């Protein structure tokens, strides 16, 4: 068994660059446009490698899968010993068992397949309304990919329609809180958005306790074992995980279908198309864990306390699992992609995201089969963990 206790004997420095910490520079414009060439280089460097910042980086499908399933790798967070709703709480996304197990099970009671299936007609109606409102030229992100999931999640939660724009702003800001590093000043902006969001939801939750409806918030208020702080943390998680990732799935899907002249495939094979988009250009590019105790990956020792980053975007293009991985091919067998994770943290909203993606891409392909990109290199948002377009100008006919 080899050892990863700093094989490069790299010096520690407070002036480490993002590339030193992560093994690549996520803020480099070239990387943001197309990270997959860099991922290929990293895989060639090794299935596991050690960065100058002390991270172990997993690049292969085998090692990323193993880490996500292995209980020796976790987040190391514990819930605060207070139920003060004004204090930021750790969502169950970043907790380990038994806290994660308890909270996920409680939230799952209100997040049932029956509730999701009841949403299907409404998702279809919103999709049709948004497509009908677009002109001959449109920014597909602003006019379609963004409003669809935010309208769905706000209706699902039971948020008044007039608060849509506030939700959109909060979601864009809070999505940055998932990143391993934030630009100067961004942390303060994210904290302000979090405080505003929690204050808003405290009032809404109080209303639902008195006058419950058929929405998800009302269902969550009936889960007596959830504290107020846990409810608020769950609302933040549902907003970000239930909205931002689906925005990126839809926009990334349209971009890649249009680039490859395959939009028609979405009309006939929406499920296969969505699965290939999730593999080829996943909305979530990476995730991190810490070795909670001494562990190993692929016969390599990982000391306790070592942070490990799993490059989902690299694993989804591992040639050992996906032949010709850089080819966009909705006809390939998709079931082994890691876009929704694995193990106990497998995405709770995977069914909803798939449903929204399939409905959106199928409807767009049927309504605008001649859709063309109006710009060859659309700009990307600066997020590190989530990969998504800031704008996607298209011509619908």
- In a domain? residue 194: yes
- In a domain? residue 201: yes
State whether 330 and 357 are in the same domain.
no
- Residue 94: pLDDT band with limits 50, 70, 90: confident
Tokens read off for 84: 């003060």
The pLDDT value recorded for residue 80 is 54
Give the domain CATH number at 391.
1.10.630.10
The pLDDT value recorded for residue 11 is 41
pLDDT at 360 over 70: yes
pLDDT tens-place string over residues 46-61: 889 888 888 899 999 9
Say which DSSP state 104 is in. Answer: H
Percent of the chain with pLDDT over 70: 87
Q: Which domain holds residue 147?
A: 99-273+343-397
- Residue 230: pLDDT band with limits 50, 70, 90: confident
Distances (CA, A) of 138 to 42, 323, 344, 368, 377: 37, 35, 40, 12, 16
Higher pLDDT, 285 or 335: 285
State whether 157 and 215 are in the same domain.
yes
The pLDDT value recorded for residue 47 is 86
The pLDDT of 26-41, averaged and rounded, is: 92
State whether 114 and 196 are in the same domain.
yes
Cα(335)–Cα(350) distance, rounded to whole angstroms?
13
Higher pLDDT, 90 or 321: 321
Asked whether the beta carbons of 317 and 325 are under 8 A apart, the reply is yes
β-sheet bridge partners, residue 289? 308
State the DSSP string of 222-275: T-TTS-HHHHHHHHHHHHIIIIIHHHHHHHHHHHHHHHTT-HHHHHH-HHHHHH
The pLDDT of 79-103, averaged and rounded, is: 66
Distances (CA, A) of 81 to 10, 86, 90, 220, 244: 38, 13, 11, 22, 30
pLDDT at 196 over 90: no
Burial-class residue 367 by CB neighbours within 10 Å (0-12, 13-18, 19+).
middle
The pLDDT value recorded for residue 361 is 98
Computed over every residue of the chain, the mean pLDDT equals 85
State whether 151 and 239 are in the same domain.
yes
State whether 365 and 298 are in the same domain.
no
Any idea which residue has 């909803």 for tokens? 352
The pLDDT value recorded for residue 77 is 63
pTM of the model: 0.88
What sign has the CA pseudo-torsion 138, 140, 144, 150?
Answer: negative
The pLDDT of 4-19, averaged and rounded, is: 54
- In a domain? residue 212: yes
Asked whether the beta carbons of 75 and 83 are under 8 A apart, the reply is no
Report the domain count for the chain. 2
The pLDDT value recorded for residue 70 is 94
Asked whether the beta carbons of 325 and 318 are under 8 A apart, the reply is yes
State whether 109 and 238 are in the same domain.
yes
pLDDT at 364 over 90: yes
pLDDT at 252 over 90: yes
Any idea which residue has 């590093």 for tokens? 181
Quote the strand ranges of 4-55, DSSP E: 48-50
Tokens read off for 274: 């969505």
pLDDT tens-place string over residues 278-319: 999 999 999 999 999 999 998 889 999 999 999 999 999 999
- In a domain? residue 329: yes
The pLDDT of 262-268, averaged and rounded, is: 96
pLDDT at 90 over 70: no
The pLDDT value recorded for residue 184 is 54
Pairing of strands 286-291, 307-311: antiparallel
- Residue 10: pLDDT band with limits 50, 70, 90: very low
pLDDT tens-place string over residues 136-194: 999 999 999 999 998 888 888 888 878 877 777 777 777 666 666 555 556 677 778 77
The pLDDT value recorded for residue 1 is 39
State whether 267 and 312 are in the same domain.
no
Distances (CA, A) of 334 to 233, 338, 347: 33, 10, 17
Give the domain CATH number at 300.
3.30.43.20
Cα(66)–Cα(380) distance, rounded to whole angstroms?
30
State whether 140 and 209 are in the same domain.
yes
State whether 211 and 309 are in the same domain.
no
């Amino acid at each position: 068994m080899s050892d990863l206790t700093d094989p490069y004997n790299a010096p520690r420095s407070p002036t480490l660059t993002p590339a030193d910490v992560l093994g690549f520079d996520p803020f480099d414009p070239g990387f943001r446009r197309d990270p997959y060439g860099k991922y290929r280089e990293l895989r060639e460097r090794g299935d596991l490698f050690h960065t100058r910042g002390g991270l172990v980086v997993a690049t292969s499908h085998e090692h990323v899968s193993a880490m996500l399933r292995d209980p020796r790798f976790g987040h190391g967070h514990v819930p605060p010993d207070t139920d003060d709703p004004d204090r930021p709480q750790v969502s169950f996304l970043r907790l380990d068992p038994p806290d994660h197990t308890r909270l996920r099970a409680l939230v799952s009671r209100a997040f049932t397949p029956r509730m999701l299936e009841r949403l299907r007609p409404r998702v279809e109606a919103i999709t049709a309304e948004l497509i009908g409102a677009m002109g001959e030229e449109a920014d597909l992100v602003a006019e379609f990919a963004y409003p669809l999931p935010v309208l769905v999640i706000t209706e699902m939660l039971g948020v008044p329609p007039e608060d849509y724009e506030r939700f959109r702003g909060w979601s864009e800001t809070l999505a940055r809180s998932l990143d391993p590093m934030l630009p100067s000043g961004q942390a303060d902006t994210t904290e302000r958005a979090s405080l505003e969001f929690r204050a808003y939801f405290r009032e809404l939750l109080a209303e639902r306790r008195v006058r419950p409806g058929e929405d998800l918030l009302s269902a969550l208020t009936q889960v007596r074992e959830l504290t107020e702080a846990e409810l608020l943390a769950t609302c933040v998680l549902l907003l970000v995980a239930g909205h931002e990732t689906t925005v990126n799935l839809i926009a990334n899907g349209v971009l890649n279908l249009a680039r490859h002249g395959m939009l028609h495939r979405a009309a006939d094979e929406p499920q296969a198309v969505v699965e290939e988009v999730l593999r080829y250009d996943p909305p979530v590019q990476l995730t991190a864990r810490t070795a909670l105790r001494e562990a190993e990956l692929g016969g390599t020792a990982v000391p306790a306390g070592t942070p490990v980053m799993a490059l989902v975007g690299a694993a989804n293009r591992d040639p050992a699992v996906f032949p010709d991985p850089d080819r966009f091919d909705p006809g390939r067998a998709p079931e082994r992609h890691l876009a929704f994770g694995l193990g106990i943290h497998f995405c709770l909203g995977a069914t909803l995201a798939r449903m929204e993606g399939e409905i959106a891409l199928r409807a767009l392909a049927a309504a605008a089969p001649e859709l063309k990109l109006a710009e060859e290199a659309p700009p990307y948002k600066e997020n590190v963990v989530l990969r998504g377009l800031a704008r996607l100008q298209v011509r619908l006919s």
